[in-house]
Amino acid sequence: MAKKFTPKRYFNLEVVDITARGKGVVKSEEGKVIFVSGVVPGDKISVETYKKRRGYFEANLIKIQKSSLYRVIPPCEHFGVCGGCKLQNMSYEAQLRFKQNDILHNLENLSGMILPKIDEIYAAPKPYFYRNKMEYAFSDQRWLTSEEVANKSLSIEKKGLGFHKAGMWDKVVDIKRCHLQPEPANVIRNTIKAFALENGLDFFNPKKQKGFLRSLMIRNSNRGEFMVLLQFFKENKPQREGLLKHLKKHFDIASLLYCINNKANDTLYDQEIICYNGKTYIREEMEGLSFKINAKSFFQTNTEQAYELYKIARDFAGLKGEDLVYDLYTGTGTIAQFIAKDCAKVVGVESIPEAIEAARTNAYENGIKNTFFEVGDMRDVFNQDFINRHGKANVVITDPPRNGMHPDVVKQLLFLEPEKIVYVSCNPATQARDLFLMRDQYRLVKSRAVDMFPQTQHVENVVLLEKI
Ligand code: SAH
């Protein structure tokens, strides 16, 4: 039988760091490493451990004995319950410093490369209301705060529309005002909820798999266009039309969509998206390029900072007009199109067929003739045949998902041996791990982070590697 954990209290410990998952790190006098949520580096705190993990303990915060100078009052009423913006209680300056240090530590400890001077992180001019896409879930059993549970009044509304509680697939934190997406996103969401309550529309219950209203996605673009997609669990024409008509009447929504999804999970990729009013897409614009975003399209969620990220990547690539570039993990081909005018040819690779379809359409509509796209898993597609077909790239831009590149893909990159590799990453730890595999053939020349996701622990980092 597993040994029962005995909680232990510690007093007056200083928070020395924040983990990549946004938890505070303290060390006890006997050298135990303890992770605590809701604290800021510099806070002096007392905690009680509740779980032993491999190499560290998890603890609950009991008291902040002395507040850090970096501590600020979170503007969002949902902070701490919602779990989305873990760093809202830290000044923006401190957030940037934490992200910069995180990248430095990963490069120092994992990359095995000699580090150049690391450039200053590119701060976000708008640390709030920067996201262009949010997804909300309906629930007839929303998450109740401890005060609400304590207050036994029967009048508490149980239906909610908001975000899944971290780690709880069946609980939704009702959101009144989210600070991440520009208005009228909150007004649209709150209007939908109010209409649903007034008209007795059923909210979804994921455990019993029943209900009517299931999820809501709101997207917006830098041209000020909004897309609203309502996901219903089943068809109920009068109720569905009532709600959509209400939205059409009260808001200027460029793309008003819905789908009816009765499968067990609420993912959209295999759903038929139906247009109720307006267009099936909205448009983002960047340096004279236009990108059509439909309900299923991937697009970086902070357009303004994505532009900065792409400019840094392009600058690092130092293209001279005659280069042949591979854009690995190209998504909807945004980077490929962004750099196309500066090189002879770009070849993008991506595993999602719809994304490649969108990349081709966008490139065509943007009048770009020197981009080529292939669908498939990088591991299978990026082989000698690929190189024979497209020619040998002298510059590679790679932007893999959070788990980084597969070792076989790194191997193939080393075999290709381009003069330059620009590695864009949303996970500094896997980026540094991948660099380690390239340390004998490549030198780390530049590194610059971009803060795409203020208030959260996430950060993007771009490095330039040159062949030794
Ligand atoms: N560079 C793009 C998107 C980067 S996100 C942009 O800036 O918009 C990473 C992309 O890698 C996603 O589109 C994802 O679908 C794709 N991807 C993930 N694993 C992959 C794999 N094994 N092979 C090919 N593409 C993959």
pLDDT of residue 157: 87
Does CATH number 2.40.50.1070 belong to domain 133-286? yes
User: Strands of 460-467's sheet, edge to edge?
Assistant: 371-375, 345-350, 324-328, 395-398, 420-425, 460-467, 442-450
Q: For the segment 227-260, what is each residue's pLDDT rounded down to a tens digit?
A: 999 999 999 999 999 999 999 999 999 999 999 9
pTM score of the predicted model: 0.92
How far from 33 is each of 3, 29, 56, 102, 234, CA to CA, in Å?
20, 10, 5, 17, 49
Ligand 1 pocket test, pick from 350, 356, 379, 403 with the greatest ligand atom count within 8 Å of Cβ, gives 350
Residues 6+ apart with CB under 8 A from 6: none
Q: For the segment 172-212, what is each residue's pLDDT rounded down to a tens digit?
A: 999 999 999 999 999 999 999 999 999 999 999 989 999 99
List where CATH 3.40.50.150 sits in the chain: 94-127+302-467
Residues 6+ apart with CB under 8 A from 372: 345, 346, 347, 348, 390
Cα 378 to ligand 1 centre (Å): 9
15 in Cβ contact with 36 (< 8 Å):
yes
320 in Cβ contact with 395 (< 8 Å):
no
The CATH architecture to which 9-66 belongs is Beta Barrel (2.40)
What's the CATH number of domain 94-127+302-467, 3.40.50.300, 2.60.40.420, 3.40.50.150, 1.20.1730.10?
3.40.50.150
Residues with CB under 6 A from ligand 1: 298, 300, 329-331, 334-335, 349-352, 355, 377-378, 399, 401
Cα 41 to ligand 1 centre (Å): 34
Cα 139 to ligand 1 centre (Å): 31
List where CATH 2.40.50.140 sits in the chain: 9-66
Strand 44-53, strand 9-14: pairing: antiparallel
pLDDT of residue 345: 98
pLDDT of residue 95: 95
Residue 426 annotated to the active site? yes
List where CATH 2.40.50.1070 sits in the chain: 133-286
Return the sign of the alpha-carbon dihedral for residues 78, 79, 80, 83.
Answer: positive
The residue count for the chain: 468
Burial (0-12, 13-18, 19+ Cβ within 10 Å), 37 = middle
Residues 6+ apart with CB under 8 A from 332: 291, 297, 298, 299, 355, 358, 359, 362
pLDDT of residue 2: 64
- 230 token code pair: 């309502």
Query: What residues in the chain have per-residue pLDDT under 50?
Result: none
Of 401, 454, 448, the C-alpha closest to 426 is: 401
User: What crossing angle do the helices spanning 428-437 and 407-416 adopt, rounded to 10°?
Assistant: 50
pLDDT of residue 297: 86
